[in-house]
Amino acid sequence: MSLWYSFIGYVNIKIEGLSIERFLNLIGQTNIRIWNVKRISRTTLTASIKRSDFNKLQYLLRDQNLNLIVMQKKGMAKNIKYMKMRNVFFLLIPIILFIIYAYSSFIWVIDIKGVGSVYSEKIMKSLEHCGVSIGMPINKVDQDEYQRVILKENPELSWVGVNVIGVKLEITAAKEDPPNNIIDTSTPSDVIADKDGIIMSIITYDGTAKVEAGSTFRKGDVLISGIMEHTIAAPRYVCARGEIKAKIYYDSTINISAMNTKTRTGNKKTNEYVEIGNIYAPIGDTSIDYEYYEIETTKNIVTESFFIPLYFVKNEVYELKIDDPSGEHAEEIRKQAEELAYEKALSKVPKENAEVIGSLVNYSISDSGELLVTVAVESLEDVGVTVPIENVPDATAIPSASNANTP
């Protein structure tokens, strides 16, 4: 399907009946443009035609024992009703058409995938060093060079892919996976706490447990010692090992006194735009006179050609009233504060090897008289990291397997 048909509009249709082949032959003898013909069954097919040919097709169907069903209407003509026949828009049509055809020769979107915001910023800096910017000609893109520079300047990345998709430069990257925490069991070691918490259960495989279920611990405390004491012999040094489950708390505090709630007054304004990539062409007056407001945006695609994203955008602007935390909406604000504190606390919980088992809410007054809410999320986790014991006497180290049973 050409860009032109996408712009002027076309119709997806379904034809049902027993004489479909004869009808297709009849269409072939006319000037009706038909494409995407798909045979669904012996008596059914689907196809696409220009909107301007739809009446001609209906005329041909008058003497045929066939049923015509309109499935979808696509293109500019479908969306013209959203334009409300604004004169300003039609004055912009020649400009828009020119931009559309020129638009596909330049990079307008840089999309970085596979890594977080920190690495995305680093990759953007590497691209800037290569001279990449929004609006650069597509024929100037050097994918191999960009890949080489990004990997050179960001050694923590293990792979980078660079692709041009229409007017979008897409960068896909992957970080180098950290090496697994391999424990050398021949090295005398302790298991220490890597965070604060409460022991829920502990199973010791080797070493001496220094805590028990119900014990509290702080980051850095020894949970399982690699020193095994004997009353009649010298201590034996081992690599402490075990399974430790602990309850960990992650908290977040919100200042309720600094919060407010927003309610709509009932006043609303509609602003409309034509969007081409990152360029917005306003239709009519799009100024906003409200002091406080929120916007709900809807988009309707005008052209479906993936390399020229042209949309009709409608912004519904709602005026807001801001309510004081001590006013009639105080309870609602407290609830919002609790939810916000909970979400912030929950975001601190590790994504892996952690199970959220509960939460605690506490209200307090600060020294300056502000109302605070603190939410603590309870998480059940595996805790403990293996750390080598320093200054281990050689004579008391773990015997090797080759001489462990030597008399």
CA distance 231 to 169: 71
Answer yes or no: is pLDDT of 374 > 70: yes
Domain 109-175, CATH 3.40.50.2000 — does that match? no
Answer yes or no: is pLDDT of 395 > 60: no
Top pLDDT among 341 and 119 is at 341
Residue 398, classed as helix, strand or coil, is coil
Give the pLDDT confidence of 345-362 residue by residue, as tens digits: 999 998 888 899 999 999
Query: By the 8 A CB rule, do 55 and 102 touch?
Result: no
CA distance 68 to 54: 11
CA distance 149 to 127: 8
Average pLDDT (364-380) is 88
Instruction: Record the pTM.
Output: 0.42
Average pLDDT (64-84) is 67
Residue 54, classed as helix, strand or coil, is helix
* Tokens standing for residue 27: 């269409």
Give the pLDDT confidence of 139-154 residue by residue, as tens digits: 888 988 998 999 889 8
Nearest CA-CA partner of 271 in 232, 233, 316: 316
Average pLDDT (102-129) is 83
**What residues does each domain of the chain span?**
3-74, 109-175, 184-260+324-402, 265-320
pLDDT of residue 286: 84
* Tokens standing for residue 218: 């702080």
Non-local CB neighbours of 321 within 8 Å, separated by 6+ positions? 262, 263, 264, 265, 292
Torsion angle, alpha carbons of 194, 197, 200, 205, to 10: 20
Answer yes or no: is pLDDT of 88 > 60: no
Non-local CB neighbours of 122 within 8 Å, separated by 6+ positions? 153, 154
Helix residue ranges per DSSP H, 136-208: 143-153
Average pLDDT (185-199) is 90
* Tokens standing for residue 344: 């912030």
Question: How is domain 3-74 classified at the architecture level of CATH?
Answer: 2-Layer Sandwich (3.30)
